[in-house]
Amino acid sequence: MLAVAAVVAAVAMPATAHATLRLLVPPASGRGVSAPIIWQARALIVQSLGRPGRFLVLDRDGPPTAQPLSLVDAGWMAQWKGAMMAVTVDVSREAGATRIQLTCVDAATAVQACFIEEVTVSGPETLPYVAERLALRLSAALGGRALPEHAIATRASGATSEPRSDRTITIGARTGVLVPVVAAEISPTILGGFSVMAGADAGYLLADVSAEYYGGQNHYLAGVSLGLFRPLASGRYTPYFGASVLWATQRIAGQGASGVQVRPTIGVMFGRHDVVRVRAELGGFVSIFEEREPDRLIVGAGQARVVRGALLSMGASF
């Protein structure tokens, strides 16, 4: 059962202006609730606020804090990022009830523009519905209008009826193209391959473990890797950057070798909160070991080469 309270200060703007109103959402705050739940609630609110026709959302994600930003700090952050308003998210739980509060702060004056609250005694499964209710109420409040309860309930239910998955752990596979460079005077050999992976989404940090194989024209690279990535947003479309470390066994320069390979990476995830999540990545790599070229006369001789190059991959996880 939901208990709703909305307290709106004197801010009114036409509904048609919403699509161009820039809102900044800083890291959420919370007490009595685990950090993943706080992050999930904030991510859902960002997604709901950014639905087509509502607002342009500047997503400043980060680890949750114990207390909300002050009005001055929230207003300054919004102004610094070119937003017209900041919307802080605070999640707390006490006496069996979870309370989610949105506070709007005008960027120019650092004055509270609206305050909206939803209280629920249900579990995390209702967060998508609660987030959509908050977004609908905030949109109405900034437009200087009121929505009846039945309209809010109907719209929120319809908007959250799509299948969702906020699981922390996912498994999947990806395919890719690896272009190793042995030396400037040697033409690169393009290798195709695939990998299987297990991923973890901790909100402000993504991690994955994978096993991979790339091969072609009597060359190959196989290994296992651990990657850590920093997401730059919390919505369905999530760009990220980071790096992975691979223990690799390869035969690219000639005689074959094994060792550690480092891979800086940028990527984007589509459908972060959906049942199927798609990832596309572009990265470079450098082997922190040498592989010798073939030498027909002396076994173990041959010029030592450090293999480096680029990698493009795409995959899906569930």
* C-beta separation of 98 from 125 below 8 A: no
Residue 131 backbone phi and psi in degrees, to 5:
-60, -40
Tokens of 89: 């998210």
> What angle (nearest 5°) sits at the alpha carbon of residue 62, between those of residues 57 and 65?
115
DSSP letter assigned to residue 74: H
Helix axes 35-49, 127-142, angle to 10 degrees: 50
**Dist. CA 258–CA 287, nearest whole Å:** 9
Instruction: Check residue 166 and give its pLDDT.
Output: 61
Residue type at position 79:
Q
Tokens of 98: 């979870």
Q: Tens-digit pLDDT profile for the chain (318 aa)?
A: 333 333 333 333 444 445 578 999 999 999 999 988 898 899 889 988 988 778 889 998 888 999 999 999 999 999 999 999 999 999 999 988 999 999 999 999 999 999 999 999 888 888 888 999 999 999 888 887 777 887 888 887 876 655 555 678 899 999 999 999 886 556 778 999 999 999 998 878 899 999 999 998 889 999 999 999 998 887 778 899 999 999 999 998 778 899 999 999 999 999 887 788 999 999 999 999 988 887 665 555 667 888 899 999 999 998
Instruction: Check residue 47 and give its pLDDT.
Output: 87
Q: Which residues pair with 50 in a beta bridge?
A: none
Instruction: Check residue 160 and give its pLDDT.
Output: 62
Q: Among the residues of the chain, which ranges form H helices? A: 35-49, 71-80, 127-142, 149-159
Helix (H, G, I), strand (E, B) or coil at 313: strand
Residue 164 backbone phi and psi in degrees, to 5:
-135, 160
* The two domains 2-159 and 169-317 share their CATH topology (first three levels equal): no
* C-beta separation of 239 from 232 below 8 A: yes
* C-beta separation of 202 from 168 below 8 A: yes
Residue 301 backbone phi and psi in degrees, to 5:
-90, -170
Q: Going by C-beta distance under 8 Å and a sequence separation of 6 or more, which residues neighbour residue 257? A: 249, 250, 251, 287, 289, 290, 291, 292
Give me the residue spans of the domains in the chain.
Answer: 2-159, 169-317
Q: Could you tell me where the beta strands, DSSP code E, fall in the chain? A: 2-8, 22-25, 29-31, 56-59, 85-94, 97-106, 112-120, 169-181, 191-201, 206-216, 219-231, 237-251, 257-270, 277-287, 291-292, 304-305, 308-317
Instruction: Check residue 163 and give its pLDDT.
Output: 53
- Kindly give the pairing relationship between strand 277-287 and strand 257-270: antiparallel
CATH T-level fold of 169-317: Porin (2.40.160)
CATH-assigned architecture of domain 2-159: 3-Layer(aba) Sandwich (3.40)
For the chain, the straight-line distance linking the first and the last C-alpha, in angstroms and rounded, comes to 31
* C-beta separation of 230 from 205 below 8 A: yes
